[in-house]
Structures are given as C-alpha cells and as structure tokens.
Amino acid sequence: MLSTLDTDLRRTALSADEVLAIRRRRRWSMLAVVAALTVMVVWSIDVTVIEDTDWERMGSVASVLESAGRFMGVDWALFPDLVKPAIETFMIACLGTLLGVIICIPAAWFGAMNITPFKPLTYPLARLMMTLSRSIHEIVWALFFVAVVGLGAMAGIFALAVRSVGFIAKMSAEAIEDINPGPVEAIRAVGGNGFQVLRYAILPQVLPQILGVIVFEWEINIRRSAILGLVGAGGLGLVFFRQMNTFNFPGVTTVIIAILGIILVGEVVSYFARKAVI
C-alpha cells in the first residue's frame, strides 16, 4: 500500500493535506474491514462456542484435562493387530492414486484449453468433473461408493481416485496450457499426427510437473485413506473407531501413531521419488 501511495504522489504531486486525507480515508476503510471482521468473530463465537457448547458436560478445566489425559499412553498389545490394516491403508492410497491418475488422463486432455478436442463441449465437461471431484469431501465420496460397491477396500479406492482427479487434472491441464508451443510446431512440421504431438512435444514438457503433483496427491491420499474406515471403506480407520467405541483411549493413540508411521513412510518414499523425477 505504501508503494502505491508513493507512485500516486509522484504522479500527481499532491499537497500534504491531500496526502493526509488519502491516508485517513485508507485508515477508515481499513478500520471498517477490521470492525466487520471483529463483529463476525464475536457473533460466531457467541453462536458456535458459547451457546452451542454443553458446558456442564464438559465441566471444569481439570475435568477437560483429565479427559484429554485418557489418551496418554500406548496400548502396545494392539500393535500386532495394526500391521494388516496399516498395509491395507497404504495400498488403498496407492491404488486410489493410480486409478485417479488413469481417470485424470481424459480429464486433463479435455480440460486443457489448447488441446481439448471440442472446446464448447469437452472443456466445460472436464472443468465440471474437476470441480465436482474437489468440492466433495472424501468421506462423502466414500459413503457413496460404499452404497454402490459395498463395504471394503474397493469403495475406498474409488473414493480416493475420484477425490484426487480434480486436483491432479487441474494442475496437469494448467501445465499443458503453459507449455512452450515450439516443439508442438516442430512435430507438426515433420508430419506428426495428434498422438505423436502429445507423446513427443507435450508429454516430455509436462511430465516432471505432473509426476510432482501425483506424488503430492499420493501423500495426501495416505492421510485420507486412514479415515475411510469411518464409513466402512477399510484400513486403519476401522480399527481407530473400534478403539474409540470401546473407550480404549491408549489404543486410539496407538492407531494415530501407526497412521503417523505410514505417513512418514510416504514422506520418505516421496522424497526419493521427487529426486528421481528431477
């Protein structure tokens, strides 16, 4: 803001009074925004926190701390039971990402302005797909797929795939729109067809970027797949809720540690994958 003010000054050579007037106006509008924000905060706090909370059930600070304290400790006995679900969670994330990438190919192709086959139809279609995929939470997608394909890993894979299409396709389409058109022209000039242009001129340019996005989404999918058990889509989430429902709070902590463990594995793998891509 200061810099724009400076240029204003230089351009029009205002008097000191006018400068102060501008500043005052700025300050007023700033103040108005802050005031509006504050009112909203106060109102929201009033509604969400003060009115809506069951203060009696929560009790004193001490009892809150006590109920938080129940989560201290680790249920070592649970670990053997976590191995299979942890592997499942990891695999659901991998397969979900893979399927997402496959669905992504047409979505990115249709959704990139410069290569979309029939702009008035395919472009909006792809954009709609992307937005729909991103705006629905993975839990909702999982609910839907559980209803369609039944309980189990398959529903989780589909949910993750559909959920990740939006982001991967959006980033890929943007990468495709940003390519250097020179090589495209060169491949056309040697007599290449559309597929050859895609394979030789477009793909090599965007591949590193897209792989980076895929690895990024895969990491997020590991995180997501750990909660899909909530709606019956398999993996660690199921164990988590079982511990919660049986009030085995150290067990809950154990499951969270296991989740952090596979996320760490994911981070390590993605670190090396990124290095390999570049």
Partner 1 sequence: MPILEVRDLCARYTRSGPEILKDISFDVEADDFFAIIGPSGAGKSTLIRCINRLVAARSGSITFDGRSVTSLPARELRSLRRDIGMIFQEFNLIDRMSVMDNVLSGRLGYTGNLRTLFRAFPRTDVQRALEMLHRVGLEEHVDKRADELSGGQRQRVGIARALMQGPKLLLLDEPTSALDPKISREVMGLIKNMAQEFAVPCLCNIHDVNLAMEFCNKMIGLQDGVKMFDGPTAEMDQAKLDEIYAMEVL
Partner 2 sequence: MKAANPVEADRAALPRDLHWQRYKYPESLYSYGAWIVVLSFLAFSVEYLSIPLERIPAMFERMAAVIASRYYPPDIEYVMDRDYLDYVVQTIQMAYLGALFGLLLSVPLGWFGSFNMTPSRRFVYPVARLFTMGFRAVHEMIWAILFVSILGFGMLPGVLALTFFCAGFAGKLFAEEIEAINMGPVEAMRAAGANLFQTMVFGVFPQVRVAFTGIGIYTWDVAFRAATVVGFVGAGGMGWYLKRAVLQIETERVAAIILSIVILVLISEVLSAFARDRVMRMK
Chain positions contacting partner 2, by CB under 8 A: 2, 40-41, 43-45, 47-49, 52-54, 57-58, 64, 67-68, 71, 87-88, 91-92, 94-95, 98, 131-132, 135-137, 139-140, 143-144, 147-149, 152-154, 157, 223-224, 226-227, 230, 234, 240, 244, 249, 252, 256, 259-260, 263, 276
Q: What are phi and psi of 268, to 5 degrees?
A: -65, -50
**Using CB under 8 A, which of 175, 176, 201, 236 touches partner 1?**
201
3-state secondary structure of 257: helix
Which distant-in-sequence residues (6+ apart) come within 8 Å of 262 by Cβ?
86, 89, 90, 222, 226, 236
Q: Are 198 and 56 in contact (CB under 8 A)?
A: no
Which residue number, 187 or 226, has a Cβ lying nearer to partner 1? 187
Select 153 or 165, whichever has its Cβ closest to partner 2: 153
Give the shortest CB-206-to-partner 1 separation in angstroms.
10
Burial 116-144 (b: 16+ CB within 10 A, else e): beeeeebbebbbebbeebeebebbebbbb
Q: Distance between alpha carbon 63 and the CA centroid of its chain, in Å?
A: 35
Q: Tell me the C-alpha distance between 222 and 93, whole Å.
A: 5
> Shortest approach of partner 1 to residue 188 CB, angstroms?
6
Query: In terms of CB distance, is 16 or 65 closer to partner 2?
Result: 65
Can you tell me the distance from the alpha carbon of 172 to that of 214, in angstroms, rounded to the nearest whole number?
10
Of the candidate spans 29-37, 110-118, 178-186, 246-254, the one that interacts with partner 1 by CB under 8 A turns out to be 178-186
Q: Which does 190 bind (CB under 5 to 8 A by kind): partner 1, partner 2, none?
A: partner 1
Asked if 163 contacts 133 with a C-beta cutoff of 8 angstroms, the reply is yes
Residue 164 CB, shortest distance to partner 2, in Å, is 14
Footprint of partner 1 on this chain (CB under 8 A)? Answer: 182-183, 185-193, 195-196, 199-201, 204-205, 207-208
